[in-house]
Structures are given as structure tokens and as C-alpha cells.
Chains A and B, each alone.
Chain A
Amino acid sequence: MIKKVLVANRGEIAVRVIRSCKEMGIKTVAVYSDADRTSQHVLHADEAYHIGPSPSLESYLNIDKIIQVAKESGADAVHPGYGFLSENTKFSDRCKLEGIKFVGPSAYSIANMGDKITARKTMIAAGVPVVPGTVDMVHSEEEALKTIEEIGLPVMIKASAGGGGKGMRLIKKAEEVTSGLRAARSEAKAAFNDDSVYIEKYIESPHHIEFQVLADSHGNAIHLFERECSVQRRHQKIIEETPSPILTHEKRMEMGAHAVAAAKAVNYEGAGTIEFIVDNDLNYYFLEMNTRLQVEHPITEMVVGVDLVKEQINIANGLPLTLKQDELTQTGHAIECRIYAEDPDNNFMPAPGQVTHIETPSGLGVRVDGYIYEGFVIPMYYDPLIAKLVVWGSTREESIQRTLRALHEFKVTGVKNNVRFLERIALADDFVKGNYNTHFIEDNFDFLMGGKEQNMQDDDVVSIAAFVEYLDRIGELKPKYEPATALNSWQKLKRARSARNARF
């Protein structure tokens, strides 16, 4: 049984993992870079080890160093969180070699799902629907044109090793095929050192819906329903909810069964996510599998009533799943808002810096997974995600209302953030009606950027507050209370006396 876990991550997810370990009586080991000495995950852990300079490549991605710390600290398992080394087959293999449990799937599963063409083939063999397109790599233009004739325009040319939108080209007209193919291949070569590409039908106005799966080492696999992730900006998810407002019960169970089949097809072990794209007629296609815990996993925890990190650890311990598919239900509705340190008014430019003031919401049905606090300097080296607001309500309507209430209580000063932008999303008519797809942000952009009109009374309040702060600071109007550090004469006398009588 795992007794000590090294959390090979930082930020909110490291804190999240440490919390579950604590509840299981498992000791935790944090690792930190130069920039993260005062980061929350270090403050929460039982042990902490410095692993190098601030840039990720020299710290959180340094496999040798992390393995060394795991051995030195006597950790018997490593939890990789998401990002960094979570989907790195070398790391997962290395842990196995060193006799340290990797809380996640085998290198075999990661590699099988990481390569898009292999994943497509595996899914087709398992009977999981995939987007119509090529099964093998496309080498020539003739092949490409033949495929396009079969499946019809528009199509996407994608890099097999791809991710993050690199090596991807949308082709709307037949004459764009040659240049698109060449561009996609050279981009893929530059980014991944692998120029294999394949062709898929382009699904217009798609929904992005994913299924959470859990699979143990005894061959049991279940799904924990879906998460609707269509509110995205440049492939970056912003708000997720579950249940999806567009799925029917039948469709949900059918997709869930396919998600389980997908996990079984790669002998999956642990927590994973099967991503589907879904069109307006609820036709769905396998997109990819994420072989790790997702950022948005808490909304599943809220409606299903499980702790996914604990499930991961139990699976890593070789225990069989205790959850049974037919006993699982979705209760109520959950929404997650991602709070980013970025400036929506300045093309969403990242905004690291010092948090001078923070108030986080609380109250019924509100959970905040974050890692920043007053005075903390958000480093410039890592992801701009600073907190996740997760809200549960008995219905979707209540959940949206509660999200708005909680966002109103959420206040971060000192660094720019997207709290007001999130509020506008939750107010947007299309979102409230559940009538949205991945084009939601661009379709509603003007509305989302609006709502900042301040009336004269608001301006008065803002001006006066700054003015009063100024006056009090320059001491023209001294505050009535004494600063905490100032001593009155009695205290000074007492201190002087005790100093005189002190014996060392």
C-alpha cells in the first residue's frame, strides 16, 4: 500500500492531490522550483524538496531530479497531476524501472493514445465511432484528394503527433489541398519532428463533450458520465458543466459505453478521459483520450459524489473498483469556471505578478480549488490558471445563479484576471439556454466584453475611495487606531523592565 506520495506538479492541482492524500493518511512530498518556495503546495505538504531553477524544463520536467527526490524521500509513488510529466512515457517507464508506482496508466496506454493515427486505428477496431477520414498516414496529394472525394469538404489535415493546434489545417476548397498538406507537414515536422499527417472530416459547429472513465488492474472499467467543455477560446477551455445541456439519457449511456470500450481497448488503468466531438444532431466521434486527471475533474466529483484522486490511488494500489456502473447517478448540476491571471481587455495577455488582495467565495455548494493568497507573487514561468471555482446546484438554473453569486464574491486585486469575463459568459443568453457550441466565445464576443458601464455613482465611489486612501496614507488625516506595531508607553515600560530583568 502506498504510504508516501511525491506530487510531481505545482499550483492548484498539487494542492488538490495533497488534500486527498492527507485524508487517506498518506504522507506527501512536494517539489518546487526557485519561483515556488512560497507556493501553496509547498506549504501544504509534509516534506518539500527544491528541484531547480524556475523554468519548467530545469525543474518540473527534470525526470532525473524528480526520481532522485522520490528515492531520497522514500516516496513509494508519484502523482503527476496534469500537464508537465503526466503523459510522458519516459517518466512513467522510469518510475516503473526504479520501483516507484506511477499514479496513472502504463507507458503502453499513454503511447497508444498519444499517437493520433494509432489511437484512431485502435478505436475503429474497438467499434468506437471516429470522425470519417483516413485510417493510415497520407503521403501524397493524390491520396489526399481521393480521401476528400470520399468524405467531402470541409476537412482537417492533422499531424499524427499533434496537439495544441500545431500541424493542423482546415481545408474548405479543393484547390487548397496542395498548400494545406504541405503547410501541415512542415509545421508538424518542425514542432514534433514527425511529418505524418492524416485527414478527417471537419465537423462544423461542434460540441466538445468528454467522458470520465476509471479502470482498475482487474479488468473493470466504468464511466462517470460526461463533461460539456464547449466554452473554449483558442482550444483553451474556460467553463465546463455537467450534465451537458444537449445530451439525452439514451445518448449519454451509449457514449458512456463507448468510452468504456475505448479505455478497455488500450488496457487502461487509472482515471482517464475520452473526448468526443458531437454535432448538432448528436452524432458523436472519438477525438482523443487524455491519460491523466483533467483540470475540470471536480465537476464530475460534485455530481457523482466521488473523490477521483482517491480512486486513482486505490487503483495504483491494485485494489478493485468498488463503484458499480449501475449504481452511479448524476445528482444535480455542476459548473466549473477557470480563473486565469490574464487581461481580457488586452487580448487575454497573461498577467503574472503580486496578488495584493484576494477574497474567495464560500457558502452552500461552492468549492474553490486554487493556490494563490494575499501577497503571493504569481510566477511568470507557468500556466496562468490560478483557481477553479466549482459550483454545485440542484438544477442547471440554480447552478448558473450560484455561479454568478460566487463570481460576484470572487475578488482578486493586483493581477489582472478574467472573473468579470466569466460572469458575462454565465449571463449570456446562449449559455443560459444551453444553446452553445465551441464557437460560443467568438459568436458572443461583443456581449462578453461588455457590461463594464459604470454610472456616475460608481465613479464617485471609486474616486472617493482612492482619495480617502491617499489622505490616510500621507497622514493628513491619521486613522483613529494605532498601528499594531506601535507600542504605548505602558507597553514600552513593561518591555524595558523585562529586558532589564532578563536572564539568559
Chain B
Amino acid sequence: MAEVEKGKKCKKCKILKLHAMSYEVKLKNKTIAIELQKRTEDRMTVKVDGRSVELGLVRVKQGSYSIILNNKVHNVVVVPIKGTKKFLVNNFIETQEVEVIDSESRYLSNRCKGTSADGEGTIVAPIPGKVVKVLVSKGQPVLAGQTVVIISAMKMESEFKALKAGVVVDVKVSEGQTVEGRQTLVVIDFNKE
């Protein structure tokens, strides 16, 4: 990482802290250190987990990139997920979720460590739909794999289950209610049993 002396502005980007910031991306449960080294109009060099990767990159339109890496053409669509630093990245093989971890998110996750990590689980609706049944109530113990909420969308009903055994801390939806995608349905404390 290129160090910039404290209090001195970097000549290139004229922003104090740019080079001093470190980033990571999370892809498929892997955390990859990533750092921008050089960027021109259509080419860039990026350090990925210590490897220097040189590529051609052009933004064709908002969220749509043409990337040429080792002369191979990649067309990639990147769509941000609202309210997060996560992106849906579609590269023709599949759509994957990528999270960019910056100093802010690292700070937040450090601060919250011990209270939330592993201990609490939220069951989130992955899709918009209508709550058909809520099968648990606050304070109720649940077993791993127990169905907690049933949601109906597009004429199909899907069951949402507890990942691990625990106790229901909060039920955030009621029967008949319409939910958005990514809305929290139920919070479970896995430390209690």
C-alpha cells in the first residue's frame, strides 16, 4: 500500500487519505484484499490479494462494464443493493453478491462484535410476497430447521426455517401483511436454547 505522509496531500488524487485506505471485497465467502494502483481513461491496474492485475475497463453505461483481461472479453453488469455496500454482479455465468468492505464497515463490524455476530440470526424474506402464516411468537424456542414463516409469491408458497436452534426474540411481521424483499421477518437468538 502506497503510504502517504500524515497531513500531506497526495499529488495525484488531492485527497488526503485515498492511498492510505485499504479495501476488501467479499465474494462467495472469500475475503479478498483489493487496492487500486493506477487508473487511466480505459485501463487500470488493481492489486488483488497481492497479485497485480492489469486490465482494460470501460463503463459502457451506468452499471455496465466492458472489461478486457488477458485479451478475453467480459461484459459485466453491476447493480448496487440499496442501503448497503453490496452489489449484484452479473457476468454471464451467474449473478453473485459482492460486498465492498471499507474502513467504515470495518469500524461498524468491530464495534458490534460480540453482540450480534453468530449469536443472533434474522430471517429475512429474500423476495417480496405476502405473509401467509407466522408459526412462532416472541419468546418461543425453535429447533434447527423449524418452519417459522410461510410466504406466498407468484402462486407458490415458500417456507422459511430457523438456521439453528434458539429462541425467538422478535417477530416483525404479521399474517396477511405484504413484505418487501430483504425485509426482516423474525429475529432469533441462537445463544439461548
Please determine whether chains A and B interact with each other in the same assembly.
Answer: yes
- Name A's B-contacting residues (CB within 8 A): 341, 343, 346, 349-353, 356-357, 380-384, 408, 411, 413-414, 416, 420, 451-452, 454, 457-473, 476-477, 479-480
Q: Which of B13, B67, B128 contacts A352 (CB 8 A)?
A: B128
Judge whether B111 is part of the interface by a CB distance below 8 angstroms: no
Q: How far is the CB of A483 from chain B (nearest CB, A)?
A: 10
Q: How far is the CB of B157 from chain A (nearest CB, A)?
A: 10
Q: Which of A352, A414, A460, A464 contacts B88 (CB 8 A)?
A: A414
What A residues does B28 contact at CB under 8 A? 459
What B residues does A480 contact at CB under 8 A? 41
**For the complex, what is the distance from the CA of A459 to the CA of B59, rounded to whole Å?**
18
What B residues does A382 contact at CB under 8 A? 154-155
Q: Assess the A380–B34 pair: CB atoms within 8 A.
A: no
Residue of A nearest to B21 (CB): A476
**For the complex, what is the distance from the CA of A461 to the CA of B57, rounded to whole Å?**
10
- Known A-B contacts A416-B95, A463-B25; A380 and B80 likewise in contact (beta carbons under 8 Å): no
Judge whether B158 is part of the interface by a CB distance below 8 angstroms: yes
- Known A-B contacts A349-B158, A351-B127, A471-B36; A465 and B89 likewise in contact (beta carbons under 8 Å): yes
Q: Assess the A470–B100 pair: CB atoms within 8 A.
A: yes
How many chain B residues touch A (CB < 8 A): the figure is: 59
Q: Assess the B155–A454 pair: CB atoms within 8 A.
A: no
Q: How far is the CB of B83 from chain A (nearest CB, A)?
A: 13
Shortest 4 CB-CB contacts between residues of A and residues of B: A350-B154, A466-B98, A356-B79, A380-B153
Q: How many A-B residue pairs have CB under 8 A?
A: 148
What B residues does A408 contact at CB under 8 A? 92
What A residues does B178 contact at CB under 8 A? 380
Q: How far is the CB of B86 from chain A (nearest CB, A)?
A: 9
B1-9, B69-77, B113-121, B166-174 - the one binding chain A:
B69-77
Q: Which of B48, B80, B155 contacts A464 (CB 8 A)?
A: B48
Q: How far is the CB of B35 from chain A (nearest CB, A)?
A: 9
A-B contact pairs, 20 of them (CB 8 A): A341-B154, A343-B126, A350-B127, A350-B155, A351-B126, A352-B127, A352-B153, A352-B154, A357-B90, A380-B129, A411-B90, A414-B88, A457-B70, A464-B48, A465-B57, A466-B78, A467-B23, A468-B44, A469-B78, A469-B80
Residue of A nearest to B53 (CB): A460
- Known A-B contacts A463-B25, A479-B59; A380 and B128 likewise in contact (beta carbons under 8 Å): yes
**For the complex, what is the distance from the CA of A459 to the CA of B156, rounded to whole Å?**
34
**For the complex, what is the distance from the CA of A356 to the CA of B77, rounded to whole Å?**
10
Q: Which of B32-78 contact A (CB under 8 A)?
A: 32, 34, 36, 39, 41, 44, 46, 48, 53, 55, 57, 59, 63-65, 67, 69-70, 72, 74, 76-78
Q: Assess the B67–A346 pair: CB atoms within 8 A.
A: no
| Dominant secondary structure of chain A at its interface with chain B | mixed
Q: Assess the B129–A357 pair: CB atoms within 8 A.
A: no
Q: How far is the CB of A58 from chain B (nearest CB, A)?
A: 14
- Name B's A-contacting residues (CB within 8 A): 13, 15, 18, 23, 25, 27-28, 30, 32, 34, 36, 39, 41, 44, 46, 48, 53, 55, 57, 59, 63-65, 67, 69-70, 72, 74, 76-80, 85, 87-96, 98, 100, 102, 126-130, 153-156, 158, 178, 181
**For the complex, what is the distance from the CA of A420 to the CA of B95, rounded to whole Å?**
10
Q: Which of A451, A462, A464 contacts B96 (CB 8 A)?
A: A462
Q: How far is the CB of B177 from chain A (nearest CB, A)?
A: 13
**For the complex, what is the distance from the CA of A461 to the CA of B100, rounded to whole Å?**
14
**For the complex, what is the distance from the CA of A384 to the CA of B129, rounded to whole Å?**
13
What A residues does B23 contact at CB under 8 A? 467
**Taking each of A457, A458, A460, which has the highest tally of chain B beta carbons within 10 Å of its own beta carbon?**
A460
- Known A-B contacts A414-B88, A466-B78, A467-B25; A349 and B127 likewise in contact (beta carbons under 8 Å): yes
**For the complex, what is the distance from the CA of A452 to the CA of B94, rounded to whole Å?**
7
Q: Assess the A466–B153 pair: CB atoms within 8 A.
A: no
Q: How far is the CB of A240 from chain B (nearest CB, A)?
A: 21
New contact pairs (8) apart from A420-B93, A465-B89, A466-B87, CB-CB < 8 Å: A343-B126, A349-B127, A382-B154, A408-B92, A454-B91, A462-B89, A465-B91, A468-B65
Residue of A nearest to B57 (CB): A468
Q: How far is the CB of A458 from chain B (nearest CB, A)?
A: 6
What B residues does A479 contact at CB under 8 A? 59
**For the complex, what is the distance from the CA of A352 to the CA of B85, rounded to whole Å?**
22
Residue of A nearest to B127 (CB): A351
Q: Assess the B72–A384 pair: CB atoms within 8 A.
A: no
